[in-house]
Chains A and B, each alone.
With several copies, the nearest count.
Chain A
Amino acid sequence: MADNNKNAVRIQHEDFSQDEEIKALQASSKRMGGIATFLGCARDFSEGRDVSEISFDAYGSMALSEMNKLRAEAITKFGLLDARLVHRIGTVKGGENIVFIAAGAEHRAPALEACHWLIDELKQRVPIWKKEITPQGDSWVTPHP
């Protein structure tokens, strides 16, 4: 059931609608009582500097395959009914959406825990890099340990 949905993991330039993602997630099961989501967005201000936009580079094929693995692992590990992962690439302006994770389960605890785990693992495992474009120049973001 959870594997029917070919659009559950995506890397794309366009923005996405959370209402539509949630509706697609809900469509996978009538037993879903809890849905936890995480939305990462571009801040206008980072490390003391104004940021006008963020551009992304990705090792696309591997990023998609890692995101698919993460989804499958989360479904098994937390007993989810379904999960979705969407990451934007290209250029994203301040305030815009970057990444979206949704985890649906019968009850709230596994949904909430899976969502937290998924975004932490995505940041560790998925080959995508972020560059901040500021009035003072561009710089690749160095992740904190």
Chain B
Amino acid sequence: MIKVLFFGPVAERVGTNELKVEFHAGMRVQDLRAQLQAQHPAAFEIVCFVAVNGEHTLDMSAALTDNSEVVFMSKFSGG
């Protein structure tokens, strides 16, 4: 399973803070993103950043491992 988290405005548009997605061998960040984007298009309009296991990730073709924590995030507005 991949644990997917949402925060702030993205969570509001998805309607939840957390989803579980079935892991499959060879799954890449972009595969997960495409699958979720199809289900929650309005939320993904504002997604700018992805974190995998708590680290900023720019490489959308990076392979995921089972039990990863992936977060799709809109622009930050802290401070």
Contacts and interface: CB of A to CB of B under 8 A. Distances in A.
A binds B: yes
Interface string A113-135: 00000010011111111110000
Given A65-B54, A127-B71, A140-B12, A59 B5 contact: yes
Contact of B78 (A65, A122, A142): A122
A122 B79 contact: yes
Interface string B1-32: 00001011101100000000000000000000
Interface residues of B, number: 19
Contacts of B5: 59
Contacts of A72: none
Contacts, number: 71
A129 B79 contact: no
Contacts of A2: none
Contacts of B7: 57-59, 127, 129
A63 to B, nearest CB: 7
- Interface residue tally on A, bucketed by range: 20 to 34
Contacts of B77: 123, 128-130, 140-143
Interface string B35-76: 000000000000001010011100000000000000101111
28 contacts: A57-B7, A57-B8, A59-B7, A61-B54, A62-B55, A62-B71, A65-B54, A87-B78, A98-B79, A122-B79, A123-B78, A125-B76, A126-B79, A127-B7, A127-B71, A127-B73, A127-B76, A128-B79, A129-B7, A129-B8, A129-B76, A130-B77, A130-B78, A131-B9, A140-B74, A140-B77, A142-B75, A143-B77
Given A141-B77, A143-B77, 13 more contacts: A61-B54, A62-B51, A62-B55, A62-B71, A87-B79, A122-B79, A127-B49, A127-B78, A128-B79, A129-B7, A130-B77, A142-B77, A143-B75
Interface of B: 5, 7-9, 11-12, 49, 51, 54-56, 71, 73-79
